[in-house]
Amino acid sequence: PDVFPDELPGIPPVRDVEFNIELIPGSEPISKAPYHMVPIELKELKDQLQELLEQGFIRPSVSPWGAPVLFVKKKDGSMRLCIDYRELNKITIRNRYPLPRIDDLFDQLQGDMHFSKIDLRSGYHQLRVKEQDISKTAFRTRYGHYEFLVMPFGLTNAPAVFMDLMNRIFHEFLDKFVIVFIDDILVFSKSKEEHEDHLRTVLQTLR
């Protein structure tokens, strides 16, 4: 149950990798007015903000930064809260940590017959934002001004930083029986017995 929780248990532990936002020198804080929302979106906004506050992922902010928010409809009809960080991303220095090539990943699977895919629930929220960069994640809403303590979706360097964390965690198993692409883990093995051992190892590592 501690590997497959219904909800994440709050703010993640301090890790070697933290999310930082390095700006192009001379950049000034950017703040945008909240976007218009219809009543159904405002209700959803209030609910999701409350949930994020209860989980400890966001806190009220007095930051000079402030991005607007919007909703994107997911395949299942539910609404994903998205922060529009485009203006912040324009002045952020890119992290060039390499993402793996898909064809390289598939090359690892030759001859393997047993596969399991693990999708990390709210993977980005398992990484803390560096204390000095928390204010840059601030966003403005009809219901107040907030900032993230954990890595939010929508920031330009988020995939690279998360990939770095996953590669560190699974370093000794990569390309032996594990391949990782951002927050998806694929476990591959030649036999059922071997696969059970590999899965056990991966789940133990994720603890």
Tens digit of pLDDT at every position of the chain (207 positions): 444 444 545 788 777 789 999 999 999 999 999 999 999 999 999 999 999 999 999 999 999 999 999 999 888 888 999 999 999 999 999 998 877 777 777 777 777 678 888 887 667 888 999 999 999 999 999 999 999 999 999 999 998 998 888 888 899 998 888 988 887 888 988 889 999 999 999 988 887
Checking DSSP bridges between strand 58-60 and strand 144-148, what pairing results, if any? antiparallel
Diameter over CA atoms, the chain: 57
Show Cβ contacts of residue 116 under 8 Å, excluding neighbours closer than 6 positions: 186, 187, 195, 199
CA 11 to chain centre: 13
Q: Which two tokens stand for residue 161?
A: 């930083």
Tell me the Cα Rg of the chain: 19
pLDDT tens digits for 140-162?
Answer: 999 999 999 999 999 999 989 98
Judge whether 17 and 164 are in contact, CB under 8 Å. Answer: yes
**Ordered structural domains, the chain, with CATH:** 39-206 (3.10.10.10)
Judge whether 145 and 31 are in contact, CB under 8 Å. Answer: no
Q: What is the pTM of this model?
A: 0.82
C-alpha distance across the termini of the chain, in Å: 10
